[in-house]
Chain A
Amino acid sequence: MAETVVKIDNLVKRYKELIALDHFDLEIKKGEVFGLLGPNGSGKTTTINCLLSLLAYDKGDIEIFGEKMSPVNYGVKKRIGVIMQNVAVFDELTVYENIDYFCGLYITDKATRKKYVDDAIAFVGLEDFVKFHPKKLSGGLLRRLNIACGIAHKPELIILDEPTVAVDPQSRNKILEGILQLNREGATIIYTSHYMEEVEQICTRIAIMDKGSKIAEGTTEELKRMIKNTETITAEILQLPENVREQIEALEHVYNVSYADNKLVARCTGGRHNLIEILKILQENQVGFGSVYSEQPTLNDVFLEITGKALRDKE
């Protein structure tokens, strides 16, 4: 059985009356890419800050690498790499100097540090920008520098707190590929995000958070199996007669039908030929339709079904 890298037990954090973390438990094994998914304000960053001993908490225990985490547990801190939500670099130092500075907080040997810094630069693809100052970098490159500063010392546990916020899709993909590469090289990853697609794409296990509590945990497949919805069918229809809607609602595996803005949405649970059956009803009743498509449930559907609200605010 894989070694436990992070163990959070019964963690409670309050900000006056607001409960930011409500008896939160978590266990992360070595080699996992663990996703903490939740809407803004769900407690993801608070969890990370408590984990790193930046934040004082009211109750609970945190162990990392089998040791109780504290602000002065430098042995454990040495094995952790942190990439914060906000870019934390020196504007006055070059790309190389920034990475060397942060790597130098962990690695004292100059020769080793030089190699590590070069590796980090190559890893994030900033070879052509080593002499640039952060202000000259684009948002995506700046995020990559932020990542390089956090991982240059080759940590065993890497914590990434929303590293792709405000990053273009191309840079986002590079960052995600890089995270998987780090994991392949042996690092355990904790990844927080409110972008469900990213979490689905890279995480081996996911905990969904809301209002400071863990509402579900498992692999993507396990999470999707927790909900009723197995398929959502959408059809563009100019006019949907009431009797046709009733026929669709009567189908065995359809449990919810809605029609708004010329869109019919039928949610199904189980069944293998739901799309064919719906199309058949439409043809028999001579109802014209535009595009028709079927979607598998997403983590957003999981979140929606468990909490009754969408995971992400409309952007």
Chain B
Amino acid sequence: MFSNIFKYEFKSCLRQKAILFWLIAFPIILGCFFKMAFSGIYEKDVVFNAIPVAVTNIEENDILKQVLEQISNSDEALFKVTYTDIDKAEEMLKSEDIKGIIKASDLSLEFGSTGIQQTIVKTFIQQYKTQEKIITDTAKNAPQKLDKVIASLSEKISPNEDIPLHGNPDITIQFFYNLLAMTALFGSMSGLFVAQKNQGDLSALGARRCCSPVNKLTSITATLLAFHAVEMICMVISVTFLRFVLKVDFGSKLPLVYLAAIIGGITGISMGFFVGSFRIKEGVKISVVMAASMTCCFFSGLMSNTIRGTVAEHCPIFNEINPAAIISDSFYCLNLYEDYRRFTVKIISMAIYTVLFTLGGYVLTRRRKYASL
């Protein structure tokens, strides 16, 4: 019975055009758009090389000069500084010898283009501005501690914790991670169908199944596994397309990227199964699932790469519980960190979600008789 249900549910799911569109065609199409949109701003040589900047009027700001000297002469130099006048600096910027100009007189900035390197320069100056008084006071009152204060300033933006040590640091790859997270969460639509099909009060098919001599747990498990199998195929196709057709660089641990995508897909299905098990109108449930998926993806940065930072700043816990953020973070961790600790945490988080959603769905559907049909 189990194998028979699995076989036909698998076939049925595989032939549902809506599922195939949202789980295969849509991510491929959106992936192509992303690729076209981001190919012009793709940067690979960021972060790890010292960022070349020109500084003008440095004679007007001794403290800044000290700070710049220190962070550009360390082993992990953040900047490669050229002190010059404004005309020369602008010429260098035009010829792309430098990424930006820091005007020491008023701490204003000038960039030729935008990108992660420019963001780092900007962040550095912002940090400097907020800590300028502390640095000035330290230089005056306890110059022996100045090194430490400057070190703490550079640490906040230097590549020792949040900025990775290997892998593809291209900021636009986040969009592809989020695209995969979205595909995984769209699996919730098929999870919703699993619940509908097994509930006697939610569908005619469910009623017919409830009349059969098949244990509900067997029926639901076989159906869920069939849908998981289809989702798995869809996720593998999506990752393969992004990696090998669009040449998106997921780093060197591709098998684990597949694993994360598959587990993310299973999480998505279980989420839909949970929502689908509630005894509310199908249209409402579809809306809830779609809205939840899109909201999670929005806050994990599918539409804007700055939203994650904003969420992290104002409500950091949301990034830890947002399934889309967890899924996209798992790819991020794999790509950028040598160790697997963060990746493992993300995978465990997805597994916990899957177990909770599935158990919740089972509890809601375990009813054997209905008050009304």
- Where the two chains meet, the residues of A that have a C-beta atom closer than 8 Å to any C-beta of B are 15, 49, 52-56, 71-72, 74-75, 77-78, 80, 82, 84, 86-90, 92-93, 97, 100-102, 104-106, 108, 149-150
Chain A binding surface, main DSSP class: loop
**In contact, A49 and B15 (Cβ under 8 angstroms):** no
**In contact, B212 and A105 (Cβ under 8 angstroms):** yes
**In contact, A92 and B12 (Cβ under 8 angstroms):** yes
**In contact, A104 and B369 (Cβ under 8 angstroms):** no
A78-B213 contact, Cβ under 8 Å, with A15-B372, A53-B369, A104-B1: yes
In the complex, chain A residues whose CB is within 8 Å of the CB of B144: none
**In contact, B12 and A93 (Cβ under 8 angstroms):** yes
In the complex, chain B residues whose CB is within 8 Å of the CB of A97: 8, 11
Find the A residue at minimum CB distance from B368: A71
Does B209 belong to the interface (CB within 8 Å)?
yes
**Distance A263 CA – B7 CA, assembled complex (angstroms):** 63
**What are some 9 contacts across the A-B interface (CB < 8 A)?**
A54-B207, A54-B211, A71-B368, A90-B12, A92-B11, A92-B12, A97-B11, A101-B4, A106-B213
**Distance A251 CA – B214 CA, assembled complex (angstroms):** 64
| B367 CB to nearest A CB, Å | 9
Find the A residue at minimum CB distance from B371: A56
**In contact, B369 and A55 (Cβ under 8 angstroms):** yes
**In contact, B4 and A104 (Cβ under 8 angstroms):** yes
| B103 CB to nearest A CB, Å | 66
Does B210 belong to the interface (CB within 8 Å)?
yes
**Distance A82 CA – B212 CA, assembled complex (angstroms):** 9
A105-B213 contact, Cβ under 8 Å, with A53-B368, A53-B369, A71-B369: yes
A88-B208 contact, Cβ under 8 Å, with A55-B369, A55-B372, A108-B1: yes
**Distance A180 CA – B147 CA, assembled complex (angstroms):** 98
Does B16 belong to the interface (CB within 8 Å)?
yes
In the complex, chain B residues whose CB is within 8 Å of the CB of A71: 210, 368-369
Annotate B109-134 by CB proximity to A: 1 below 8 A, 0 otherwise: 00000000000000000000000000
Does B5 belong to the interface (CB within 8 Å)?
yes
| A126 CB to nearest B CB, Å | 18
In the complex, chain B residues whose CB is within 8 Å of the CB of A105: 1, 4-5, 209, 212-214
**In contact, B200 and A54 (Cβ under 8 angstroms):** yes
Does B205 belong to the interface (CB within 8 Å)?
yes
In the complex, chain A residues whose CB is within 8 Å of the CB of B284: none
**In contact, A55 and B373 (Cβ under 8 angstroms):** yes
Which residues of chain B in 1-47 are interfacial with respect to chain A, using CB atoms and an 8 Å cutoff? 1, 4-5, 8, 11-13, 15-16
**In contact, B204 and A86 (Cβ under 8 angstroms):** yes
Annotate B191-220 by CB proximity to A: 1 below 8 A, 0 otherwise: 000000000110111011111111100000
**In contact, B4 and A149 (Cβ under 8 angstroms):** no
**In contact, A84 and B204 (Cβ under 8 angstroms):** yes
A74-B204 contact, Cβ under 8 Å, with A93-B11, A104-B1, A104-B4: no
Among B5, B11, B13, B211, find the residue whose CB has the most chain A CB atoms closer than 10 A: B211
A77-B212 contact, Cβ under 8 Å, with A54-B207, A101-B8, A108-B1: yes
Does B244 belong to the interface (CB within 8 Å)?
no
**In contact, B16 and A92 (Cβ under 8 angstroms):** yes
In the complex, chain A residues whose CB is within 8 Å of the CB of B373: 49, 54-55
Find the A residue at minimum CB distance from B201: A54
Since A80-B211, A101-B4 are in contact, a sample of 4 more A-B pairs with Cβ atoms closer than 8 Å, ordered by chain A residue number, is A77-B213, A93-B8, A105-B5, A108-B4
